[in-house]
Amino acid sequence: MIDKSLLEAAAESILRADQGKAMEIAYQVLNEGLDPLEMITDGFTVGIVKVGDLFDKGKLFLPELIQCAEVMKSATSILNDAMSSGDEEKKQVRGKVIIATVEGDNHDIGKGIVASLLVANGLEVIDLGRDVSCMEIVEKAEEVNADVIGTSALLTTTMIQQKNLEELLKEKSIREKYITIVGGAPVTEIWAEKIGADAYAENAVEGVNKIIELLRLKK
């Protein structure tokens, strides 16, 4: 296990948008043979979740949020790259995951965390970014032969796009090809059931766990 103080330092480096410190910790994890996934999950992710909470409470502004997210991306990419080149046998589940923030919504910090954790668990992730239309999502899923489509909606006004996506998949008679999972601040389990999604995730870690479990059952 990684020392608690190092995990806390990792979280703090994200909160402070201290890229130098975050990179230093990431390389320390690799040099000392520590668990990269544990650092991502219990260190850097803890920090970015706190950043998101502060932003939601109006205690952090958008430019600061973006800086913190960039530091998170840089640090976790180092660890993800290391795991990608590691022992393939440790990756129990394989699959391609399309992930996007729905059309009309420009929030993507939570989606970014999910993407990092999925890569850390050995899955191939195609992150389409934010403000992505249902048609773009479906076309990319078909193009890459994806297994999972995950969408995030951070506004009550954009949640409807998750429903529209389910309907579009049905219209094209390809709904059964994909596992669909939805998330975002206003999204609930009830909403997921109502629109016909396969799963709902309250947070990034839960989302990753559900995707892995659903892929395991599908395979």
DSSP state of 97: E
Domain boundary among 55, 86, 117: 86
pLDDT greater at residue 219 or residue 140: 140
DSSP state of 43: I
98 plus 82 within the same structural domain: no
Domain boundary among 51, 86, 121: 86
CA 96 to CA 116: how far, in whole Å?
A: 14
Q: What residues make up the domain containing 9?
A: 4-86
121 plus 140 within the same structural domain: yes
116 plus 72 within the same structural domain: no
Looking at the structure of the chain, the number of domains it has is 2
206 plus 117 within the same structural domain: yes
pLDDT (0 to 100) of residue 99: 96
Domain boundary among 23, 57, 86: 86
Helix (H) or strand (E) holding 182: strand 179-183
CATH of the domain at 134: 3.40.50.280
pLDDT greater at residue 142 or residue 67: 142
Long-range contacts at 18-27 (CB < 8 A, ≥ 24 apart)? 18/71, 19/70, 19/71, 19/74, 19/75, 22/71, 22/72, 22/74, 22/75, 23/74, 23/75, 23/78, 25/75, 26/75, 26/76, 26/78, 26/79, 27/78
Mean pLDDT of 113-137: 88
Sign of CA dihedral 19, 22, 28, 33: negative
Mean pLDDT of 14-18: 96
123 plus 198 within the same structural domain: yes
125 plus 211 within the same structural domain: yes
Q: Are 156 and 166 contacting, i.e. CB atoms less than 8 angstroms apart?
A: no
Its pTM stands at 0.74
CATH of the domain at 77: 1.10.1240.10
Other beta carbons within 10 angstroms of residue 151's beta carbon come to 29
The yes-or-no verdict on residue 118 having pLDDT over 90 is: no
44 plus 12 within the same structural domain: yes
Instruction: Calculate the average pLDDT of the chain.
Output: 90
135 plus 151 within the same structural domain: yes
195 plus 112 within the same structural domain: yes
The yes-or-no verdict on residue 211 having pLDDT over 50 is: yes
* Residues contacting residue 90 through CB under 8 Å, at least 6 positions apart: 122
Could you give the maximum distance between any two Cα atoms of the chain, in Å?
A: 52
Q: Are 119 and 172 contacting, i.e. CB atoms less than 8 angstroms apart?
A: no
49 plus 144 within the same structural domain: no
51 plus 123 within the same structural domain: no
Q: Which of 150, 110, 156, 151 is nearest to 131 (CA)?
A: 151
96 plus 135 within the same structural domain: yes
- Token pair 């998330």 is found at 183
pLDDT (0 to 100) of residue 14: 95
pLDDT (0 to 100) of residue 79: 87
